[in-house]
Amino acid sequence: MFKKALAGIGAGALLFGLAACGGGDGGSDGGDDGSLVIGFAQVGAESAWRTANSKSVQDAAEAAGHTLKFNDAQQDQEKQIEAVRGFINQQVDVIVLAPVVETGWTDVLQEAEDAGIPVVLADRGVEAADEDLYVTRLGSDFAEEGRKAGAWAAETFAADADGTKILELQGTTGSAPANDRKSGFFEVLDAEGLNYEIVDSQSGNFTAEEGKAVMETFITTHGLDGIDLLYAHNDEMGLGAIQAIEEAGKVPGQDIQIIIVDGSKAGFQAGVDGKVNYIVECNPAFGPQLMEVVEAVAAGETPEKFTPVEEGVFDATQFEAELPNRQF
Ligand code: GYE
């Protein structure tokens, strides 16, 4: 755990001394009973996925008897960096970071390393240059999610002779899921030789409001006639876009086919209602698995650099049967 890591930086005695006498908040002594103090720098509360993810981590920490210090950064990187600095000052045992975007983490990750506090990434990743500054990442393979969406689109529109016209609602600019869901999707369309055109592609920041507003702009700019497919990087943006499409007098799921990523109850309900054509699952319920990883890291073990969460895909024939199984 962090005491062990401190030995390596030569400042162990000083910092350990601070930890030992500063334990008024429950301390970061790693607990003789194995309980840990974990700082969790969460992205925000922008989606049903995120809310479910926060709850999964909070419940799992409680069940495991650990103290979780939870911070909601409202999708603001500056706030997240401040939260991580706060956790360093409090000398938590392990920091869990779900980085809102991929870049800009080098300094604060270095500060955590200098303080001997291991960082575990949950959900989103950071740029490759910072790989040495965190221990491991537990989360989804976003590129694979994009490939799954691309495989369905390539098959569905294979016979579309005059070219498939695509609108894309990207997630938060610079975030790992936006970058990778995009690249995975178009990688497969290209590999499958689909004749397509990206009519427009903008960020809707993973929220329903922005997804709706961007779709309204798409409709004003391009109309919807001849548009074949909307690829929304999450449920909320897809659901917001559906409203915009309906307000424009068109039928989502028919006049324009729609792919969403996440698979919330609301997303599946839209599928059952015929408004969504394909759902790529992204699983937020990795709290228990995260606790295992955090405990291993605190015990000085080095897990695999990346542990993917298991996820499926669902088409129209499966929406109704799957809806009751959805947990968020
Ligand atoms: O798909 C989206 C959320 O990072 C996987 O963030 C997560 C994404 C998820 O806002 O709904």
Q: pLDDT, tens digit, for every residue of 151-196?
A: 999 999 999 989 999 999 999 999 999 999 999 999 999 999 999 9
- Ligand 1 mean position, distance from CA 326 (Å): 16
Task: Give pLDDT, residue 12.
Answer: 31
Task: Give pLDDT, residue 34.
Answer: 87
- How is residue 325 annotated by DSSP? G
User: Which of 2-11, 32-41, 205-214 is most confident?
Assistant: 205-214
Instruction: Rounding to the nearest 10 degrees, give the CA dihedral for residues 177, 232, 187, 278.
Output: 110
> pTM of this prediction?
0.90
Atom of ligand 1 nearest to the CA of 46: 10
How much is the average pLDDT of 91-110?
A: 98
Question: 24 pLDDT band (50/70/90 cuts)?
Answer: very low
Estimate the share of the chain in helix, then strand, then coil, as percent rounded to the nearest 5: 45, 20, 35
pLDDT one-digit tens code per residue, 250-279: 999 999 999 999 999 999 999 999 999 999
Task: Give pLDDT, residue 6.
Answer: 33
Question: 90 pLDDT band (50/70/90 cuts)?
Answer: very high
Q: Is the CB of 50 under 6 A from ligand 1?
A: yes
Atom of ligand 1 nearest to the CA of 261: 1
Kindly report the average pLDDT of the chain as a whole number.
92
> In Å, how far from its chain's centre is CA 226?
32
Domains of the chain: 16-139+285-311 (3.40.50.2300), 142-282 (3.40.50.2300)
Q: Is the CB of 172 under 6 A from ligand 1?
A: no
- Checking if the pLDDT of 124 tops 50, the result is yes
Q: How many CB atoms lie within 10 A of CB 22?
A: 13
Question: 32 pLDDT band (50/70/90 cuts)?
Answer: confident
Q: What percent of the chain has pLDDT over 90?
A: 89
> In Å, how far from its chain's centre is CA 280?
13
- Checking if the pLDDT of 8 tops 90, the result is no
Q: Is the CB of 47 under 6 A from ligand 1?
A: yes
Task: Give pLDDT, residue 161.
Answer: 84
- Ligand 1 mean position, distance from CA 234 (Å): 7
Joined tokens for residue 309: 């969460």
- Checking if the pLDDT of 9 tops 70, the result is no
- Ligand 1 mean position, distance from CA 35 (Å): 29
Probe target for ligand 1 pocket from 144, 181, 231, 282, with the most ligand atoms within 8 Å of CB: 282
- Ligand 1 mean position, distance from CA 179 (Å): 12
Q: What percent of the chain has pLDDT over 70?
A: 91
- Residues with Cβ within 8 Å of residue 268, at least 6 apart in sequence: 279, 314, 319, 322, 323, 326
- Checking if the pLDDT of 310 tops 90, the result is no
Probe target for ligand 1 pocket from 49, 96, 239, with the most ligand atoms within 8 Å of CB: 49
- Ligand 1 mean position, distance from CA 292 (Å): 22
- Residues with Cβ within 8 Å of residue 18, at least 6 apart in sequence: 91
How much is the average pLDDT of 275-288?
A: 97
Encoded amino acid at 171, one letter: G
Task: Give pLDDT, residue 30.
Answer: 58
Task: Give pLDDT, residue 4.
Answer: 35
